[in-house]
């Protein structure tokens, strides 16, 4: 650690970026199926969404052989069964039903995984209080 700033640490995400292939299809999925707030789009191939205090950036690669970013996004929900049902009604395809993952000191962790049109991994995450 640098002696000049020993207390410095990164502790907050401001933006997450993932690579997509079809901007219109991705915008429709994140806006219409997932219900995220579309903040703005920037030509030629960027779209930004609000997810709580974090901004999600969807981008096409700058070049066909350009770098692709992958990230797993975990969306916190209070009621995983309800969120799962609503997203299924919007034709989101889940890899499995919501399921128990781990018993934590104060809650049980439940997840349900699904993919966007570019096969990026997404999940519902529910921390059920005991």
Give me the domain span that covers residue 92.
15-129
Q: Is residue 6 part of a domain?
A: no
Q: Is residue 7 part of a domain?
A: no
Global confidence as pTM: 0.74
pLDDT of amino acid 1: 47
Pairing outcome for strands 121-129 and 107-115: antiparallel
* Long-range interactions of 113-117: CB distance < 8 A, separation 24+: 114/87, 116/20, 116/26, 116/29, 116/30, 117/20, 117/21, 117/22, 117/25, 117/26, 117/29
* Number of separate domains in the chain: 1
CATH number at residue 54: 3.10.180.10
Q: Is residue 5 part of a domain?
A: no
- Distances in Å between the Cα of 64 and the Cα atoms of 26, 68, 127 are 18, 10, 40
Q: Is residue 3 part of a domain?
A: no
Q: Is residue 40 part of a domain?
A: yes
Q: Is residue 4 part of a domain?
A: no
Q: Is residue 32 part of a domain?
A: yes
Q: Is residue 107 part of a domain?
A: yes
Q: Enumerate residue ranges in the chain where pLDDT < 70.
A: 1-5, 8, 10, 66-69
């Amino acid at each position: 650690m640098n002696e000049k700033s020993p207390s410095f640490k990164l502790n907050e995400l401001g933006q997450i970026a993932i690579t997509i292939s079809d901007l219109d299809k991705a915008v429709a999925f994140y806006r219409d199926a997932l219900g995220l707030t579309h903040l703005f789009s920037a030509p030629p191939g960027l779209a930004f969404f609000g997810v709580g205090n974090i901004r999600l950036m969807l981008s096409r690669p700058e070049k066909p052989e350009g770098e692709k970013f992958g990230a797993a996004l975990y969306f916190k929900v209070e009621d995983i069964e309800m969120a799962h049902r609503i997203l299924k009604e919007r034709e989101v395809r889940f890899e499995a039903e919501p399921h128990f993952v781990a018993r934590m000191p104060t809650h049980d962790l439940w997840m349900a995984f699904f993919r966007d049109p570019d096969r990026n991994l997404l999940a519902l995450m529910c921390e059920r209080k005991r």
